[in-house]
Amino acid sequence: MRPLDKKMEKNIKPFGWRRNLDYLFILYYLSKQKMKEYKIDFFSMMFFDFFLLTTYMISYFVIGGLVFSFLHWNIGDFFLLFCFTLLAWKILWVWGLRNFAFKLLKGNINVYLLRPINIYFSASVEGINFQNLISGLGLFIIAIIYIIYSKIYIHYLLAFFIFIFGCTFLMVFVNFLESFAFIFKKNEFLQNIFVMSDEVVSIYTPKTFESSSFRILFYLFPAAFGYFMVEVLNNRLEQFYYYLPYLILIFIFLSFGIYLLWYYGLKNYEGFG
């Protein structure tokens, strides 16, 4: 079964970006209603975030004093690194393909094909979680308050740009790997390799691997943006500007890769009725 025949396509009016935006707001509203009905889920997530923050801070306090002195960071810098990393993954719930290979194998993508909105957009925003929006906003406010009132950081606007670019870079990186489901029906190995590698970079920072022959690769992971943000706030800009052209090129490559994977993937897709 092909995605849509030409006669059906003529009868559907997608209304462009407005229809997509309306669909996004509806998803947020439904997620908000779900959060109201299942409040325990929200409080459980808040408890988990607090527990995760405590665990990371203890680890940073212990390991940081022994290993990371060459970073010239303090415990507050590690706190901001944690905040950025957690926020980036929370924002991924706003736009991110999740379990796409499973949906593709089950033929669930048929649902996206019948909606009068962009297919890639529909699949990417389906996992929207209002709980992550609220908790992420709270975490963002706490980080901003700390940055302003600590009075030791500068380059706020540049750090904010790095934050936005880093979150977008992560979304594109994850969606690129998920989109490989059009080629590899069992692509979990790609995701597992990425998650493990990105987690290592986020915890130990790319600078830990300076002596490695492949050190440049560690600066090109999405988690490296947290490191760059802290460095820029501390008025150390050289590394970020050095790696920025590479990151932009990778971002363009991944974006174009997603387009090709979806363009040819949908052409060859056969759903299950």
Parse the chain into domains and list their residue ranges: 6-267
pLDDT of residue 209: 79
Tokens linked to 249: 């090129």
Which of 70-79, 91-100, 151-160 is modeled with the greatest confidence? 151-160
Gyration radius of the chain over CA positions: 21
pLDDT above 50: residue 76: yes
pLDDT above 90: residue 185: no
CA distance 128 to 122: 11
Query: Per-residue pLDDT tens for 8-61?
Result: 555 555 556 778 788 888 888 887 787 777 778 777 878 887 887 888 777 777
pLDDT of residue 33: 82
Helices 75-91, 156-179: axis angle to 10 degrees equals: 40
pLDDT of residue 13: 54
Question: What pTM does this model have?
Answer: 0.82
223 touches 199 (CB < 8 A): yes
**Please, where are the H alpha helices in the chain?**
6-11, 16-37, 39-67, 75-91, 100-106, 109-114, 119-124, 130-150, 156-179, 188-204, 215-218, 224-233, 238-267
Query: Per-residue pLDDT tens for 112-155?
Result: 777 778 888 888 888 787 788 888 888 889 899 999 888 899 99
Once rounded to an integer, what is the mean pLDDT over residues 103-114? 78
CA distance 109 to 117: 13
Query: HSE-up of 88 (CA within 13 Å, CB side)?
Result: 31
